A and B are shown apart, each in its own frame.
Chain A
């Protein structure tokens, strides 16, 4: 999980960087040899920092791109202000060498990166798109434009997509059904682009080694759900080229790119709100009209509108494929309706959180014990240590204490000290849940007072979340435990949830 969650953030950071610092961002570490002492170039947080090797080891152990400032680093940095830049250049050269295999136009790289970012931007941001239009409009206006001009563009997109794939190669998480779905979605866009004459030939020249774009017929076979869109009107704008390049990898069999392209689109898609689902039908109608405009006159307005339509459609496709992926994850989800599926997703997610939290608190200590004054919430302890989930810890919701006391046991004994051992409590924030039916968990505190004493006593006690009945369906055959007979004083000292507790008055 450590590699999983930060993966997105890390990649997003990486992509926010290139706009400012050019190429040299995809290599986190690069040893630079040539100094008297062994200096390592470390790419930390957007700047190249030269470190001695031993300090670099600390950085290696630590966290991905966080700045690990050591003494040597401090000395080096102010002292060698020129050196980082020099090594920066050096790094660039190395990177250039690796890029050389691709006929890449470096100068247009940044521009294309911007283009990628802005392509599926929301309508209000059409000015940037039109600003970008100059390199694109040339292609747009003249369909028979010299193919020479277009291939570099397409290749640039190829590389843009390649960056994420390279970055993501480490964390390979199998995407079983999702890959198929996304691959289909990508191939769909490939099919789209092939409709256009320009991109068609370009794709032939450039990508035939990588993409079986000519074999799109092969791929369009499984494109069941995307059938209608694929056959749709000839999409003309170059905006499909990024998707084309994205598809190149997906069809190449790489499992990461579908997600990487999704990453691209996620980052690019800084749209506001969610207002596109109802517009599906209007989209189709609009695109039916457009080709006529193209046949006769290519007005700027129609082009912009078409760009908008395309971007909207792409965004919609993205959302749809994510919904499918989500549907696959949710067990026993037979809803085809989006809203109901989202409802189920929300419920399932809540139940999962509950369950994980339960298991966590159960599994760490042996005994979930109750402690007087337990109405405090868990502190920010062991924030991410056990899980590394990277989630924040604030459980700002009153939790039910565990019943723990067996009659005859001393009160402070059940100090849920054990829990501190497992204090990587689920570090996620659970939304306020209406406590309807508290199900108690039996626990015996007789196991080991030794363990209790051994474990460091924790002032703030973990509190258990009540299960919610609605989620029982997800959690399986979980029976509500009969509450233990509790020590009276303990019971009274704890501020309870307003819900009905079975055992409040029993003592």
Chain B
């Protein structure tokens, strides 16, 4: 990946080619479930970044929720069972 990036520094900013950024932004767009189907030329990078932030926050929240539920589950099961081990493994 580093081969793609030109390392010329001007005013402290690394020159990144347009293609790179477009590619990365496109990848992000693919990951985002809502924007994925929109035409790429329509969605601005700022919007994609914003959606990414929101999505990550959502996922964080989900993880918290699920962790809570898993903790409850863990308590409900016997601590010896295999699934308890699984649950524990999930609860990072």
The answer on a CB contact under 8 Å between B58 and A4 is yes
Query: Whole-angstrom distance between the alpha carbons of A9 and B33 in the complex?
Result: 13
Looking at the complex, which one of B17, B41, B61, B73 makes contact with A273 (CB distance below 8 Å)? B41
Residues 42-61 of chain B, each 1 if its beta carbon lies under 8 Å from chain A, else 0:
10111101111111111111
Residues 3-28 of chain A, each 1 if its beta carbon lies under 8 Å from chain B, else 0:
01100110000000000000000000
The answer on a CB contact under 8 Å between A346 and B27 is yes
Residues 10-50 of chain B, each 1 if its beta carbon lies under 8 Å from chain A, else 0:
11011111101110110110110110100001101111011
Looking at the complex, which one of A284, A356, A431 makes contact with B66 (CB distance below 8 Å)? A356
Looking at the complex, which one of B24, B51, B82 makes contact with A442 (CB distance below 8 Å)? B82
Q: Which residue of A lies closest to B61 (CB)?
A: A1
Residues A412-457 near B (CB distance < 8 A): 426-429, 431, 441-444, 446-447
Looking at the complex, which one of B21, B63, B69 makes contact with A277 (CB distance below 8 Å)? B21
The answer on a CB contact under 8 Å between A342 and B87 is no
Min Cβ gap B91→A in Å is 8
The answer on a CB contact under 8 Å between B52 and A349 is yes
Min Cβ gap A222→B in Å is 20
Residues 349-367 of chain A, each 1 if its beta carbon lies under 8 Å from chain B, else 0:
1101101101110110011
The answer on a CB contact under 8 Å between A443 and B83 is yes
A72 at the interface (CB under 8 A from B): no
Query: Whole-angstrom distance between the alpha carbons of A281 and B9 in the complex?
Result: 11
**Chain B count of residues within 8 A CB distance of the other chain:** 59
Min Cβ gap A408→B in Å is 14
Query: Whole-angstrom distance between the alpha carbons of A358 and B86 in the complex?
Result: 11
Min Cβ gap B26→A in Å is 9
B contact residues around A319 at 8 Å (CB): 45-46, 49
Q: Which residue of A lies closest to B27 (CB)?
A: A346
A168 at the interface (CB under 8 A from B): no
B contact residues around A339 at 8 Å (CB): 1, 4-5, 14, 16, 20-21, 24
A contact residues around B14 at 8 Å (CB): 337-339
A contact residues around B63 at 8 Å (CB): 352, 355-356, 359
Min Cβ gap A75→B in Å is 36
The answer on a CB contact under 8 Å between A270 and B44 is yes
A contact residues around B42 at 8 Å (CB): 270, 272
**How many A-B Cβ pairs are below 8 Å?**
191
Query: Whole-angstrom distance between the alpha carbons of A389 and B63 in the complex?
Result: 13
B contact residues around A284 at 8 Å (CB): 11
B contact residues around A349 at 8 Å (CB): 28, 31, 52, 55-56, 59
The answer on a CB contact under 8 Å between B81 and A444 is yes
The answer on a CB contact under 8 Å between B86 and A329 is no
The answer on a CB contact under 8 Å between B49 and A323 is yes
Query: Whole-angstrom distance between the alpha carbons of A8 and B63 in the complex?
Result: 22
The answer on a CB contact under 8 Å between A5 and B83 is no
Q: Which residue of B lies closest to A12 (CB)?
A: B47
The answer on a CB contact under 8 Å between B28 and A338 is no
20 chain-A/chain-B pairs, Cβ below 8 angstroms? A5-B58, A8-B54, A337-B5, A339-B1, A339-B20, A342-B27, A345-B56, A346-B28, A349-B56, A356-B66, A359-B90, A362-B87, A367-B83, A389-B62, A390-B34, A431-B30, A442-B85, A447-B83, A481-B86, A484-B82
Q: Which residues of A come within 8 Å of B, CB atoms? A: 1, 4-5, 8-9, 173, 178, 262, 265-266, 269-275, 277-278, 280-281, 284, 315, 318-319, 322-323, 325-326, 329-330, 337-340, 342-343, 345-346, 348-350, 352-353, 355-356, 358-360, 362-363, 366-368, 387, 389-392, 426-429, 431, 441-444, 446-447, 475-479, 481, 484
Closest 5 CB pairs of A and B: A476-B92, A322-B49, A391-B33, A359-B66, A342-B24
Q: Which residues of B come within 8 Å of A, CB atoms? A: 1, 4-5, 10-11, 13-18, 20-22, 24-25, 27-28, 30-31, 33-34, 36, 41-42, 44-47, 49-63, 66-67, 69-70, 73, 77, 81-83, 85-87, 89-90, 92
Given A318-B46, A362-B87, A484-B82, 12 additional A-B pairs, CB 8 A: A274-B18, A315-B44, A319-B49, A329-B53, A329-B57, A339-B20, A349-B59, A353-B31, A355-B63, A366-B73, A431-B31, A479-B89
